[in-house]
Amino acid sequence: MKLRLKYTKLGKIRWISHRDVARALERALRVAQVPLAFTEGFTPRPRVSFGLALATGHESEAEYLDLVLAGEYALDALPRALSDALPDGIDVVGAAPLVDRAPALQEAVTSVEWQVDVLPVPDLDAAIAAGLDQPALETTRRRKGREVLEDVRPVVCSIVVKDGASVHMELHTQPRSAKPGEVLTAIGQSIGVELIETRAIRTNQWIERDGARHEPLDADTRPRVPEARAS
């Protein structure tokens, strides 16, 4: 059986890497005695597939991973069993069964939403609007060991200022993506204002198909079989 899990990464745990989060989750699966399926070959690996990597220092209310089970496990009990075996700040908050041919998360997710706090500047609303009016938003990024200049304007779906010191940002993930701080830096450089991210929380991920948006726990899922209750 193939499953998709939703989990959070909040608070001080944001300073551990994506690889360390993966290790923590794989350990929790072992502690909870989840019957994982394994790959074949000389070095079998658990059939666990993580979604979009979250940069170290960023938080998230909406991270996902897919896994394949080799046996039965009570789906309703899985989030709590895993959360109890995870470090503070990482909690599994949902689980759903997937169809067998569900596309990989990294291929399926088309956009993500962020809540980003910004170091105070005069009239943040006007600064964001002026930046988005620019034909290009260039920033320096590191690619294959060298620095290149890239336009991140096509990545931006929308940016809305909230409370004068934070922004709600939706960014495309395909054909390429960008970090919230990179977008803010590019906007600031385009208008001569320094925009500095102080906190970024990924709040949603979306899969878009045929003009409709789906939260990953609602995409490619199959009907759940009611779990038997003890008499």
Give tens-digit pLDDT for 163-183. Answer: 888 999 999 999 989 999 999
Q: Cis omega (within 30 of 0) on the bond before 175? A: yes
Share of the chain above pLDDT 70, in %: 97
Neighbouring CB atoms inside 10 A of 41's CB total 7
What is the average per-residue pLDDT within 217-225? 81
Share of the chain above pLDDT 90, in %: 79
Backbone torsion region of residue 41, taken as left when φ is above 0, otherwise alpha when ψ lies between -120 and 50, otherwise beta: left
Residue 79 reports pLDDT greater than 90? yes
- Bridge partners, 6 (sequence order): 64, 94
Domains of the chain listed by start with CATH number: 2-102 (3.30.70.580), 120-195 (no CATH)
Contact 117, 197 (CB under 8 A): yes
* pLDDT at residue number 227: 56
pLDDT tens, residue by residue, 125-160: 999 999 999 999 998 877 777 888 899 999 999 999
Residue 76 reports pLDDT greater than 90? yes
* pLDDT at residue number 231: 41
